[in-house]
Chains A and B, each alone.
Chain A
Amino acid sequence: MPNDREHKPLRGTETVIGRRMMEDKTYVEDIDRSIYDIKNEDRDAFRLSKGLTAAIVEQISEEKNDPLWMRQFRLRSLERYHQMQAPDWGPALDGLNMDHIVTYVRPNTSMKAKWSEVPREIKDTFQRLGIPQAERTSLAGVGAQYDSELVYHNVRREVEEQGVVYTDMESALTGPQADMVREHFMKLVPPGDHKFAALHGAVWSGGSFVYVPPGVSVAIPLQSYFRLNAPGAGQFEHTLIIVDEGADLHFIEGCSAPKYNVANLHAGCVELFVGKHAKLRYSTIENWSKNMYNLNTKRAVVEEGGTIQWVSGSFGSHVSYLYPMSILKGKGARAEFTGITFAGKGQNLDTGAKVVHSAPQTSSYMNTRSISKDGGISTFRSSVVVAKEAAGSKAAVSCQSLMLDSISRSDTIPAMDIRTRDADIGHEAKIGRISDEAVFYLMSRGISEEDARAMIVSGFADNVSKELPLEYAVEMNNLIRLEMIGSIG
């Protein structure tokens, strides 16, 4: 679009200008996601046939050399999966047919500890995503998963020397941490939790295990990055993090995939155990391709005086169901959730958070922003449950939504269930459009309308980006800019 109005003198009232902006708006059909959209040729070493049967699940166990308990666990989970109904309250899942999903794709390499040993094509993919560079400059350890398996895992020696364990789930399952894994694996998110938790229990593969010993503070973050390359495949990584008493960790999770014409599925599971007076920050920038069904489950349990902080940016996926849950089990435990969701054309992103206060003097704070444009649907869904035992608890929820056009939707569905009189609960939500006055102000200072709107949206998202390490905040702001380009005529 010609940008000839950038420096035009502005006349008339703000209302008139606002109306003109609305009338002139045009929309770009799709967004350039070239960095994320690069596809590698399918050169996997092994893939299972499509569908979900007991034979396929047994084959996964065979491939992964599961211990007996895990083989049995997978089969029990599959039974639960077949018994359970798909959710009847969220975005439609009609386009997801498990008979067409390949649940396990092993890349043509084993896990390496050096990038130089990772096959060139895969390494190039992660390089384009900036992972090795981020590792060099700002991370204490990195795990990189490609389709169903990790292809790279490394942790800095000084972190290892602190006693921190950061490894892939498969190694943890059979290595020195085997008992710890068995004690915690899918205890927080049992397979009976919902249909896709059961699916995860049956076919999980890959993911990371982290253990931070008592009192250890990991000064710089660990990161796992999940890349799904195979069309029509599912990714089911499991992340299990145990932060022991008084310890402190920041864990970053990133994910992306190229776009295909067939549905892909992500049904990962994250279980976080935050010990007494420990602190865990879990940051996610989710940028799955827009053919992805992202049905992920994340949950944390927090002991006395502990803190869980979720930072979540949801930009990709065709359909998302994503609501990190915090269970405040110990006295004085705290949860914070900061999130942004950006739903564009063809996206139906149902995101939010859940908190359960089950001990006295616990506190939680949810602060979210959502943006919808080009026919995208964004739903903020939350629940705050304060049990009878949680006397003296406090919870606050704040959600704001921005609609960039009238072909999109933005819904807010927050629930509160309070069962003690000794609680303070605050909730506020706002929905609206970009203020014409703010755009007018910026344009009167020589900023184009497109840039003005992008600036306002970036400012709107600032509560999340300021919570992220600088490199990731930059990536998130780039994503917003990418999404905003061309949305104004």
Chain B
Amino acid sequence: MEQEWKMTINQLPSPTWNWLCMNESSLEHIKTENWGMSMETEIPWGIQCDWLQSAAEEQGGVLGGMGRDMDGLAAAGGRILRITAKEGHVEEQPVLLHAVCRDGANGIQKVEIHAEENSCVTVIMDAVSGQQDSGMAAIQTQLFVGKKASIRLVQLQMLGEGFLHLCDVGAVCQEGGRARVLQLQLGGSRVYSGLLAQLDGTDSCMEAKVGYLGRKKQRLDMNHVAKHMGARSQSRILASGVLRDQAWKLFRGTIDFAPGASDSEGEEREEVLLLGEEIVNQTIPLILCGEENVRGSHGASIGRLDEEMLFYLESRGIGAAQAEDMMVRARLDALCGEIPREESRNLVQNYVKGVISHGKE
């Protein structure tokens, strides 16, 4: 059934001045007709994969960083893909999820990843389309991390230049559970991404690393939250990216220590390289603290290329433009190196290479 959605997403956990326009984002005219995303899977033997037919079968209850409005949209997507690592199973091979998006079409997919007690699983999910394609690709991923279990999620977004991409992640970690998320947001024209990790269990932890390459008139809007509920929980959020041309980026990052999360630690860091003449870089890193015995920190370093480094490179015959390219690649390569699969790494590196050389034409 054709339906147009209006959504309020990526709400800041504690709002600030409205004139800054950072408290939340609004999306209008989101259409759910003309389906056109296929999810191809490669599942290792030890991992269970189920397609649930309706929302009634889902576990539910995990809030993602984009908020409740995204749940409604994800429910409209129909079948839910559930990946399960059974109790005690440690899977060495990654689960591969390959979302192929068709030009002019809309795609919505909800994915649940369950790691039962003492299990371990890695999921590499990429979203691709033709470089000039447009459409919508919305993916909601929910992570259920059991006791002393571990989920590593790698999301590689290499959509076409006209795509709207919605990427919502919610995670709940039980005692000793560990969630690690690596996201590379490289394509699309409008990218909205949210991640909320609820560290319920004692000694649970999350690590989120985000890399992006904003260019042309691209709009990147992110909301990452680590909610510490359990004692001795740990979080680390790192966002690292480059803004070129007229790219616009808003990164919201929150470390939230609830009462009772004693001895917890949270760290957040953002590094932005500004290269475009007309870029907009918005950053709002929050620490919310209702517990005395915690340590939280955040830092941001935003600016242009280091002049000393430029001078050094120029003295070795490397021009400013070439130096810029080197720095863009170096920044993304650092995160790319953490992709635990060579083919996926190559895919990303080739994509970045293509984007950089395309930008020069």
The complex places the Cα of A408 from the Cα of B288 at a distance, in Å, of: 11
Tell me whether B296 is interfacial, beta carbon within 8 Å: yes
Contact A419 B279 (CB under 8 A): yes
Within 8 A of B (CB), among A382-417: 383, 388, 401, 403-406, 408-417
Q: Which of B17, B289, B303 contacts A431 (CB 8 A)?
A: B289
What is the chain A residue whose CB lies nearest that of B305? A421
Number of interface residues of A (CB under 8 A): 37
Contact B302 A409 (CB under 8 A): no
Interchain nearest-CB distance for A265 vs B (Å): 21
Interchain nearest-CB distance for B226 vs A (Å): 14
Contact A89 B293 (CB under 8 A): no
Given contacts A406-B290, A429-B297, A433-B293, contact A421 B282 (CB under 8 A): no
Given contacts A403-B289, A406-B262, A411-B287, contact A419 B275 (CB under 8 A): no
Tell me whether B309 is interfacial, beta carbon within 8 Å: no
Q: Name which of B18-26, B80-88, B333-341 contacts chain A.
A: B18-26
Within 8 A of A (CB), among B256-292: 259, 262, 274-292
The residues of B with any CB-CB pair to A shorter than 8 Å are: 14-18, 20, 22-23, 243, 259, 262, 274-304
Interchain nearest-CB distance for A187 vs B (Å): 19
The complex places the Cα of A425 from the Cα of B270 at a distance, in Å, of: 11
The complex places the Cα of A426 from the Cα of B20 at a distance, in Å, of: 19
Query: How many A-B contacts if CB must be within 8 Å?
Result: 135
Contact B20 A415 (CB under 8 A): yes
- A-B complex: 6 closest residue pairs judged by Cβ atoms: A421-B274, A425-B302, A427-B300, A403-B292, A89-B15, A424-B303
Tell me whether A169 is interfacial, beta carbon within 8 Å: no
Tell me whether A32 is interfacial, beta carbon within 8 Å: no
Contact A416 B298 (CB under 8 A): no
The complex places the Cα of A408 from the Cα of B259 at a distance, in Å, of: 9
A-B contact pairs, 23 of them (CB 8 A): A403-B289, A403-B291, A403-B292, A404-B292, A405-B292, A406-B290, A406-B291, A411-B287, A411-B289, A412-B289, A418-B280, A419-B278, A421-B243, A421-B275, A421-B279, A425-B302, A427-B298, A428-B298, A428-B300, A429-B296, A430-B297, A433-B292, A433-B293
The residues of A with any CB-CB pair to B shorter than 8 Å are: 22, 88-89, 381, 383, 388, 401, 403-406, 408-433
The complex places the Cα of A427 from the Cα of B234 at a distance, in Å, of: 22
Contact B282 A415 (CB under 8 A): yes
Interchain nearest-CB distance for A394 vs B (Å): 9
What is the chain A residue whose CB lies nearest that of B299? A428
What is the chain B residue whose CB lies nearest that of A373? B292
Chain B residues whose C-beta falls within 8 Å of the C-beta of A418 in the assembled complex: 274, 279-283, 302
Interchain nearest-CB distance for B255 vs A (Å): 9
Q: Which of B281, B288, B294 contacts A432 (CB 8 A)?
A: B294
The complex places the Cα of A426 from the Cα of B270 at a distance, in Å, of: 10
The complex places the Cα of A250 from the Cα of B333 at a distance, in Å, of: 51
The complex places the Cα of A116 from the Cα of B280 at a distance, in Å, of: 60
